[in-house]
Amino acid sequence: MKRRTLFIISKQPFNRSEKLDKIPKFTYSIITVNSTSVFLLSYLLVFFLTQLVTAISASVFNIKTIIVYYGVDYLIRSDDWTSDAVSAVFSSGPLTSIFFAVLLFILYYKVVSETGLLRLFILWCFCHLVINFFGNILVGSMLNEGFGYVIMYQFVMDTGKMIITLFTFLCIFLIGLFMTRLFLYSGNIYFNVLNGQNRLKFVLSQFLLPIIIGNSIIILLKLPEIKLFDVLLNGCILLLILPVIFRSVNIQDLFFDEEPRKIKLASYYILVTLLMMIAFRIGLASGIRI
């Protein structure tokens, strides 16, 4: 807004419909590929960060751990867990996530008018961090895993678990609802304007399809050790994106700047993502001892 590139107010605007008619044929496929690569790259970064924090928290209680591609293995007998250790270890990852999510939200808000793909990386990191907090509580309270262990050791009754589940579900949905415009502002990476002609196609290509494709790839990366908890946790991101899709249908047109866009594959991000996935699967196969 400071640069006056977020909105264009002109008495004689250029012919935007004409520019939309000239959108290259494979534009939305390119958007999907780019966003999927950034989605996976941000997930791997957030996943490793949260698992590292969890492992370090366990080491404070003299619990040895191994960080592997599917999570953290705790080298401790189940009977040796204490209430304090459970609360600290299994809450450290989610609490770290919400802390960084707030920081990234502020950062994304500051760079919302930029047109680089790095801004999309910040947005996807924010989404993963939000899900790793609220989604961890939501799924954990239902399956008694992850943050659910903390709830169990606090002797929360079934009614309390239901309230926690509904509250976190509502939080994820409302975050997506109120951030719809900020999600749509990422459209200025590829377009000069988002309106009824391209808005829904863009949202599906930028967010929904990358989530479906990305989560499918994540499941394949974690086979054969993938757990139901991880599948549901990663799936919670749909609760964040669905309100964006629903609200974007009737939201007003967004006008950015008139600088021409070059819609092309983000080769650098795709290459880095492929290398990170290989390193993730092979490098963490034997695990990292903490």
User: In the prediction, which pLDDT does 259 show?
Assistant: 80
Q: Which residues pair with 289 in a beta bridge?
A: 66
Rounded to an integer, the average pLDDT of 254-279 is 88
Q: Are strands 65-68 and 193-194 parallel, antiparallel or unpaired?
A: unpaired
User: In the prediction, which pLDDT does 12 show?
Assistant: 39
Instruction: Write down the residue that tokens 């808005």 correspond to.
Output: 199
Higher pLDDT, 262 or 92: 92
Rounded to an integer, the average pLDDT of 149-162 is 83
- 18-27, 75-84, 114-123: which has the minimum mean pLDDT? 18-27
Average pLDDT, the chain: 87
- 65-74, 77-86, 121-130: which has the minimum mean pLDDT? 77-86
User: In the prediction, which pLDDT does 100 show?
Assistant: 96
Rounded to an integer, the average pLDDT of 243-269 is 86
In order of 90, 121, 184, 213, the CA distances from 45 in angstroms are 19, 11, 24, 18
> What is the SS3 assignment for 74?
strand
Residues 232 and 9: their CA atoms lie apart, in Å, by 44
- Contact 117/111 with Cβ under 8 angstroms? no
Is residue 230's pLDDT more than 50? yes
Q: Give residue limits of the domains in the chain.
A: 32-51+94-268
Q: Which two tokens stand for residue 257?
A: 């700047």
Residues 8 and 256: their CA atoms lie apart, in Å, by 6
- pTM of this structure: 0.89
Q: Which residues pair with 11 in a beta bridge?
A: none
Residues 57 and 81: their CA atoms lie apart, in Å, by 13
Higher pLDDT, 17 or 84: 84
Long-range contacts of 212-220 (CB under 8 A, 24+ apart): 213/32, 213/36, 214/36, 214/39, 214/40, 214/43, 217/36, 217/40, 217/277, 218/40, 218/43
Is residue 207's pLDDT more than 90? yes
Residues 18 and 30: their CA atoms lie apart, in Å, by 21
